[in-house]
């Protein structure tokens, strides 16, 4: 399931620079029977299979380096993963992630083997692996020296409490679609102001709830009002 995802791109560069380590462990290596069975039928009946507790407990005990390292089960029932959580978890020396499959994991894992559950969104995946990939990618971006220009992480969506501003590159004129003039003005203050306004407008249109606790300038308040009225008229 993980294929090449951690041996390409930014995460691979981070691994080569030794600022991030990613290790994938197969639960079957922590079984003791000859069939290497990791799942079984649910007690009480019903459809599907459930991941057994023994291999998960053994795997966690083997790979967790410190008692305080977080052990996170990826689960649709977990705390919703977001920018804040990713930034916070990037401070950890080690994070153990558990990927579920089928109906999920034996409840004793949830009660006694993990420190928390994280969901990447309100939908159900067939397994925890895509969620783990999302998690590793998003958390790694906050580790120092992973993203070339750390400034760009601070500029990205959510860092400032808003979505990112729009970007343009060459050509200046593409099929008559022109790049806004202000970006060629050389006036950094003006460009900064334009970017902030565009970021604000986009956030107000698409994710207005992000602006709820933000201190707004008079101009931003009137943009917000305008967008609010535009919506009402629609």
Query: Residue numbers of the site for ligand SAM (CB under 6 A)?
Result: 74-77, 99-101, 103-104, 119-121, 123-128, 131
The distance of closest approach from Cβ of residue 64 to ligand SAM in the complex, given in angstroms and rounded to an integer, is: 18
Please confirm, yes or no, whether 117 is among the known catalytic residues. no
Please confirm, yes or no, whether 76 is among the known catalytic residues. yes
The distance of closest approach from Cβ of residue 198 to ligand SAM in the complex, given in angstroms and rounded to an integer, is: 31
Q: Which is nearer to ligand SAM, 6 or 128 (CB)?
A: 128
What is the side-by-side order of every strand in the sheet holding 71-80? 96-99, 71-80, 116-119
The distance of closest approach from Cβ of residue 106 to ligand SAM in the complex, given in angstroms and rounded to an integer, is: 11
Q: Which is nearer to ligand SAM, 75 or 113 (CB)?
A: 75
Q: Which is nearer to ligand SAM, 124 or 182 (CB)?
A: 124
- Which residue's Cβ lies closest to ligand SAM? 100
Q: Which of 39, 103, 150, 164 is catalytic?
A: 103
Question: ω before 143 within 30° of 0 (cis)?
Answer: no
Task: In whole angstroms, give the CA distance from residue 121 to residue 138.
Answer: 14
Per-residue burial over 48-80, b = 16 or more CB atoms within 10 Å of its CB, e = otherwise = eebbbbbbbbbbbeeebeeeebbbbbbbbebee
Provide the residue count of the chain: 234
Q: Which is nearer to ligand SAM, 6 or 194 (CB)?
A: 6
Q: Which of 42, 54, 70, 76 is catalytic?
A: 76
Please confirm, yes or no, whether 156 is among the known catalytic residues. yes
Please confirm, yes or no, whether 233 is among the known catalytic residues. no
The distance of closest approach from Cβ of residue 52 to ligand SAM in the complex, given in angstroms and rounded to an integer, is: 13
Task: In whole angstroms, give the CA distance from residue 120 to residue 58.
Answer: 26
Task: In whole angstroms, give the CA distance from residue 159 to residue 167.
Answer: 17
Tokens of 29: 């290596």
Task: In whole angstroms, give the CA distance from residue 17 to residue 20.
Answer: 8
Annotated catalytic sites, by residue? 76, 103, 141, 156
């Amino acid at each position: 399931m993980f294929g090449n995802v951690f041996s390409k791109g930014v995460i691979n560069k981070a691994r080569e620079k030794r600022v991030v380590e990613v290790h994938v462990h197969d639960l079957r290596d922590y079984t003791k029977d000859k069939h290497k069975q990791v799942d079984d039928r649910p007690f009480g009946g019903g459809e599907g299979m459930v991941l057994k507790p023994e291999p998960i407990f053994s795997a966690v005990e083997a790979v967790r380096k410190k008692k305080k390292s977080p052990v996170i089960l990826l689960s649709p029932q977990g705390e919703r993963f977001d920018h804040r959580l990713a930034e916070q978890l990037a401070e950890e020396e080690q994070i153990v992630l558990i990927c579920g499959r089928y109906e999920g994991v034996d409840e004793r894992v949830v009660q006694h083997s993990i420190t928390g559950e994280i969901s990447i969104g309100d939908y159900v995946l067939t397994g925890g692996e895509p969620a783990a990939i999302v998690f590793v990618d998003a958390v790694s971006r906050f580790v120092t020296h992973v993203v070339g220009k750390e400034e760009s992480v601070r500029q990205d969506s959510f860092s400032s409490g808003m979505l990112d501003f729009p970007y343009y590159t060459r050509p200046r004129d593409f099929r008559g679609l022109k790049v806004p003039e202000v970006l060629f003005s050389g006036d950094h203050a003006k460009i900064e102001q334009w970017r902030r306004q565009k970021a604000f407008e986009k956030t107000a249109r698409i994710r207005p709830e992000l602006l709820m606790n933000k201190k707004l300038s008079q101009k931003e308040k009137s943009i917000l009002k305008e967008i609010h009225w535009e919506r009402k008229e629609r």
